[in-house]
Chains A and B, each alone.
Chain A
Amino acid sequence: MNAVGLNITWIIFMPILVIIIGLFYLGAARKITARIQNRYGPPIYQNIIDVIKLFSKKNPTNHGVMFSLGPVMAFSGMLISLLFIPIGNKALLSFNGDIIVLLYLLVIAPLGMALGVGEGGNPMGTIGIARALTLMLGYEVVLVISIISVILYTGSASFMEIIKMQSGGVGHWFIWPLFLSALAMDMALQGMLGEKPFDQPVAPHEVASGPMVEFGGKYLGLLQLYHAIGIVVETGIFVNLFLGGGTLFWWFVKSFAVFFVALLINAVMPRFRIGQAFAFFWTYPAAIGLIGLILVAILK
């Protein structure tokens, strides 16, 4: 099979693989959090069972066309974002768009979900979305600062180029020369993943799971799938930019390692108020990122 054919095969096969692995990530997250909190926790494949259960549930409430389309758009938006990051040296579609294209593709999913939640018309859902967007304004700035420093350092915005420059062992990873940027991006990642202390949008005790409040049955199932892909994509950006990509196996190991760090912080942290979270992003992580950016600009 030639290279193009192989790539097309991977484009079809990769989403399925990522969904399964992403669901295992979620299961592992529950298990690890439980062990840290001295509980036994559900089995690691629990989320796969959950998704099957949610899809076989009958008669979830539907509030209108956009309400149904919202989760579909969220799922599809994440699917297309997935194809624009190289996974395990498989380029997929990433030759057709650079990091900035990916950043804006990543927005389709939350936007679709936000529109769906809006038609649901539950005030708690909308408060959740308002919080999520505020949080996004916080972490997106930090994320962009880190990404700009990588682009400035490499002179390219293409993922494959950046991965190629990091090839040749652990010593060549950009996490070493761009340590401050990587640190800032990891903080932004905590917000992107919605792990504590940045889980204000879904805060179960405050807004009853926020955006998810009206969604049941297959809607929730779609959102679970969206979340599963989202974790892989978001950690994947970090892996590609700072940890040098790698073969398929190592890529997922690295991606899980990044997720694991986020989990450990999540397990022991309380929740910020949303204003505090926003202010936090625009102070410490932004400052760290800016120092890193200035260093890159000076040294380059």
Chain B
Amino acid sequence: MMKLLYFIGCFSGGALLAFLLGSFSPLLKKFITFLAVILGAVLFATMGTSTYQLSLLFGNQVIFGIDTLTQFMVWMTLGIAFIVSLVLWSHSELSPTFFALFLLNVLGTVLIFMSRDIVSFFFSWELMSWTAFGMILSDGWEKKRSAAVKYFMWSAAGAYMVLIGFSILFAATSAIRFENIVMSVGRVSHGWLITAIAFLVAGFGVKAAMMPFHVWAPDAYSESPHPFTGFFSGILSKTGVYGIFIAFFYLAARLEAVPMLRVHGTSIFGYIMVWIGAITAFGASLIAVHQEYGKKLLAWSSVSQLGYIIFAFGIADSLGMTGALSHALAHALFKALLFTILAGVIMRTGTDHMASLGGLIKRMPLSFIFAVVGGLALAGIPMTIGFTSKWIIYEAGINGGYIFPTTLIFAASTAAFLYYYRFVYSIFLGPLHEEHQNVKEVPATYWISYILLAIPIFYFGLYPGKLVGIISTILQSYNLPALTTYTATSVTTPLGTFNGMVVGLGFGAALIVGLIVYFIGGRVRKAASQTDKYLAGEVVTNEFELHYSVDFYRFLERKLSWLLKISAQKFYEFIGELIRFVADINRKMFFCGNGQAYLYYMTIVLTILILSIWRIKP
């Protein structure tokens, strides 16, 4: 009880202090934020698994609890929050408001994972959404207005959908606690249950950037302050994933007993989610391929990766759920890493326009190395956590017999190579531009955070069984089917085996052989200058643009233009126009500016009112 209050107090007090004292000294706001996150983590470590009741006014109570899933999600949150607070040491330019909002945002996210009833869940949800909105705006209202408002409108719409879903459940069961809802969910008619689940999944789907509710995400991710984006895309989207998990497995499992609602061995929601997830993953990665700005590219990639998680949740067997939860962690790690690297690049060069960058490997070698690490995980190369989770997801898809969505997922993963190469090439490789000759490597706070993120990426890649073990414990505690065929280094599914350690050692040995072969060859000559290249006899100077980075995949874009034309954004704009059009007609009809007409309306309304009262009274 007290520990939870300390925990809440630690973050909200830290936020208050950072806000009040931050304007006196930039050091103080950074120090307070850093300390609050560490203190919060220490407090959380002492809390263990337990349930807390908080008494509110008028004798109402809200319930918070910690179980294995909560621990998994909260440690993920606090871990990435720690990385952000570390990186923030190099960002004095951000306002104290930002630091305060960041701490409140972390608090809101953690409380979502801890809440055990409708009221506390919704309160935490709003806290998380509002503070994220504030952080997008903390750079200034004028620049970020469009993205922030879009994010906020979508968040509000999602929150209302969640509220409607909860309200239906509350009306039907008159219970507020999740456990009571689950106990009496049998009383709810199937029609209402389906409606409630549909609203909940759609509402959480907004946060998880599920197509077609994803339109806010690329803008909001790319407009949020750079050090925060990793947390935004890596963790805040996971609250949506967590919500879907809750909605799905507390409620949807009940529907599986109804034969009419069973499709392909799962509930009809599962089947729809498999398709939505696959289309999200595929569509978003094709869009990511054609982005010109680094943050936009990674933002679309986030949408795509969340599609994998939704796909895997839809399959809903032991493999699917293991895949979904492990990919949730994998995505948080590598996306935080890539966004942090990009934040470092933006800090040093001032831009994320990929065509204006290039050749930074010469000036920022550490950032490049970790960009490769993040890219390996993103592309799902064995030995990284990205492969562990993706492999389980593929096996789940094939094993479940979802052949077409699985093909789409595979295609999305190949498209990931395309956009990842574009990202790393345009920024770090190719010729170095004149204006970036004096760019320095990122400060220590940055590369320490890179290393901290890279360790789990490799650890869970070489020991896939450890990750599966953690997740199996969680699933078993929820009485869900869990994967049990694993050892520390290998995972076995009904289809096949993957041994991370053998792959790792094998590749290590192969690399040594490769290096030996390399050193057998003679000495090499260092290139004299940047223009010391094979250029078919053309004499080029430094002014010559040799960086192939604009319209990188133009030929692909031409062939896929018919597919890329389909845009949810345009659809919503069309709806907006339609509403405006109808409203305009309305306005012209009723708000004509004629006093006599208004008097008529009033008379009509009054007549209707009087008639209706008269009608009801007896």
Contacts and interface: CB of A to CB of B under 8 A. Distances in A.
A133 B418 contact: yes
B579 interface: no
Contacts of A218: 518, 520-522, 524
B555 A275 contact: yes
Contact of B417 (A61, A133, A155): A133
Nearest to B534: A213
A56 B513 CA distance: 18
B527 A136 contact: no
Interface stretch (B160-168, B476-484, B546-554): B546-554
A202 interface: no
A282 to B, nearest CB: 8
A57 B524 CA distance: 9
Contact of A273 (B380, B398, B430, B555): B555
B382 A101 contact: yes
Given A61-B525, A122-B534, A126-B430, A96 B411 contact: no
A133 to B, nearest CB: 5
A136 B517 contact: no
A151 B533 CA distance: 47
Interface stretch (A66-74, A187-195, A256-264): A66-74
B394 interface: yes
A27 interface: no
A145 interface: yes
Interface string A29-70: 000000000000000000000000011111111111110100
A207 to B, nearest CB: 10
B381 A107 contact: yes
Nearest to B536: A208
Interface string B413-443: 0110110011011001111000000000000
Contact of A130 (B428, B513, B523, B552): B552
B395 A157 contact: yes
A293 B502 contact: no
Contacts of A137: 411, 414-415, 418, 556
Interface string A123-157: 11011011101101100110011001001100111
Contacts of B530: 121
B414 A141 contact: yes
A228 interface: no
Contact of B534 (A64, A76, A156, A214): A214
B152 interface: no
A123 B407 CA distance: 33
A76 B362 CA distance: 24
Interface stretch (A112-120, A172-180, A231-239, A244-252): A112-120
A280 B74 CA distance: 47
Interface in B462-500: 490, 494-499
B379 interface: yes
A144 B407 contact: yes
B553 A72 contact: no
A225 interface: yes
Contacts of B425: 114, 118, 126, 129
B430 A97 contact: no
B574 interface: no
Nearest to A286: B407
B553 A58 contact: no
B370 interface: no
Contacts of A293: 403
A222 B519 CA distance: 11
B406 interface: yes
B368 A97 contact: no
A232 to B, nearest CB: 15
B555 A278 contact: yes
A165 interface: no
B364 to A, nearest CB: 13
Interface residues of chain B: helix, strand, loop or mixed (majority)? helix
B526 interface: yes
A173 B515 CA distance: 40
B502 A72 contact: no
A100 interface: yes
A99 interface: yes
A61 B534 CA distance: 10
A105 B503 contact: yes
Contacts of B524: 59-62, 68, 217-218
Contacts of A275: 555-556, 558-559
A97 B495 CA distance: 10
Given A79-B510, A118-B430, A141-B411, A148 B398 contact: yes
B417 A107 contact: yes
B265 interface: no
A268 interface: no
Nearest to A137: B414
B525 A59 contact: yes
A137 B290 CA distance: 14
A7 interface: no
B9 interface: no
22 contacts: A58-B522, A71-B518, A72-B517, A72-B518, A73-B514, A79-B510, A98-B495, A100-B394, A100-B395, A108-B381, A121-B359, A122-B546, A130-B422, A134-B555, A137-B411, A141-B414, A144-B407, A145-B407, A214-B534, A222-B521, A273-B555, A293-B403
The 7 closest A-B pairs by CB, nearest first: A98-B496, A218-B521, A118-B429, A76-B514, A96-B499, A157-B496, A76-B510
Interface of B: 359, 361-362, 365, 368, 372, 376, 379-382, 387, 390-391, 394-395, 398, 401, 403, 406-407, 410-411, 414-415, 417-418, 421-422, 424-425, 428-431, 490, 494-499, 502-503, 506-507, 510-511, 513-515, 517-518, 520-527, 530, 532-536, 546-548, 552-553, 555-556, 558-559
